Amino acid sequence: MDKIHSLTGMIDLVSQKTDKSETANKIFFIEKILRSIFKNYSLSEIRTPALEDESLFKRSVGDSSDIVNKELYSFLDKNDKRIVLRPEGTAGVIRSIIEKKIDGDTHKLWYLGPMWRYERPQKGRFRQFYQAGVEILGYEEGLAELEMISLICSLNKALDIKNPVIKINHLGNKDCKKNFCNDLVDYLRPMSADLEKKDLERLTKNPLRILDSKNPETQNILNNAPLMIDYLPQESKDLLELIKDMFSDDCNIKIDYKLVRGLDYYTGFVFEAISDELGAQDAYLGGGRYDELCSQLGGKNLPAIGMAIGIERLACLVNTLENTKTLLSFIILSSKIEQKAYKIAHNLRLLNNKINLDTQLSRGSLKSKLRRANKDNASYALIIGEEELKSNTVVVKPLLDKNSQQSSMSLSELYDFVRSLT
For position 302 contacting ligand HAM by CB under 6 A, the verdict is no
What CA–CA distance (Å, rounded) separates 146 from 356?
A: 40
Work out which of 62, 164, 268, 310 binds ligand HAM, going by CB under 6 A: 310
64 is a site residue for ligand HAM (CB under 6 A): no
Q: Judged by CB, which is closer to ligand HAM: 63, or 186?
A: 63
Distance in Å, CB of 301 to ligand HAM, minimum: 17
| Residue 117 touching ligand HAM (CB under 6 A) | yes
Rank residues 135 and 264 by Cβ distance to ligand HAM and give the closer one. 135
Number of neighbouring beta carbons within 10 Å of residue 160: 11
User: Which one, 88 or 388, has the nearer CB to ligand HAM?
Assistant: 88
Q: Which residues pair with 334 in a beta bridge?
A: none
Work out whether 90 is an interface residue with ligand HAM (CB under 6 A).
Answer: yes
Closer residue to ligand HAM (CB): 104 or 121: 121
Which helix or strand (DSSP H or E) is residue 407 part of? Answer: strand 407-410
Nearest distance from C-beta of residue 131 to ligand HAM, angstroms: 5
**How would you list the strands of the sheet with 44-45, edge to edge?**
44-45, 107-116, 128-137, 304-310, 283-289, 269-275, 164-170, 252-255
Which position among 131, 169, 329, 359 is part of the footprint of ligand HAM (CB under 6 A)?
A: 131
Mind giving me the DSSP string for 247-272?
A: HTTTSEEEE-TT---SSTT--SEEEE
Q: Is 59 in the site for ligand HAM (CB under 6 A)?
A: no
Among 155, 306, 352, 357, binds ligand HAM (CB under 6 A): 306
Q: Cβ-closest residue to ligand HAM?
A: 310
By CB under 6 A, name the one of 307, 315, 341, 395 that touches ligand HAM. 307
Instruction: Identify residues 334-353 at the interface with ligand HAM (CB under 6 A).
Output: none
Q: Confirm or reject binding of residue 312 to ligand HAM (CB under 6 A).
A: yes
With respect to ligand HAM, which residue has the nearer C-beta, 91 or 348? Answer: 91
- Please tell me whether residue 133 binds ligand HAM under the rule CB under 6 A: yes
Under rule CB under 6 A, residue 154 binds ligand HAM? no
| Interface segment toward ligand HAM; rule CB under 6 A; list 45-53, 186-194, 307-315, 352-360 | 307-315
399 contacts 378 by C-beta, under 8 angstroms: yes
- The count of chain residues that interact with ligand HAM, using the rule CB under 6 A, is 27
Quote the distance between the C-alpha of residue 374 and its chain's center. Answer: 34
Binding mask 134-153 for ligand HAM (x = CB under 6 A): -x------------------
How far apart (Å, rounded) are the C-alpha atoms in residues 37 and 82? 37
Closest CA to 111 of 56, 171, 35: 35
If we measure between CA atoms, which residue out of 115, 84, 132, 133 comes closest to residue 10? Answer: 115
Least distance (Å) between residue 71 CB and ligand HAM: 8
On whether the CB atoms of residues 107 and 312 are closer than 8 A, the answer is: no
For position 256 contacting ligand HAM by CB under 6 A, the verdict is no
Sign of CA dihedral 28, 128, 76, 89: positive
Cα–Cα distance for residue pair 384/122, rounded to 1 Å: 51
Closest alpha carbon to 172 in 234, 126, 123, 225:
234
**Residue 41, number of CB atoms within 10 A of its CB:** 15
Which of 168, 164, 167, 166 lies closest to 275 in space, CA to CA?
A: 164
Question: What single letter denotes the amino acid at residue 155?
Answer: L
Q: How far is the CB of 313 from ligand HAM (least distance, A)?
A: 4
- The reply to whether 177 sits near ligand HAM by the rule CB under 6 A is no
Minimum gap (Å) between residue 311 Cβ and ligand HAM: 8
Closer by beta carbon to ligand HAM, 13 or else 227: 13
Q: Which residues bind to ligand HAM, rule: CB under 6 A?
A: 88-90, 117, 119, 124-126, 129, 131, 133, 135, 262-263, 283-288, 290, 306-308, 310, 312-313
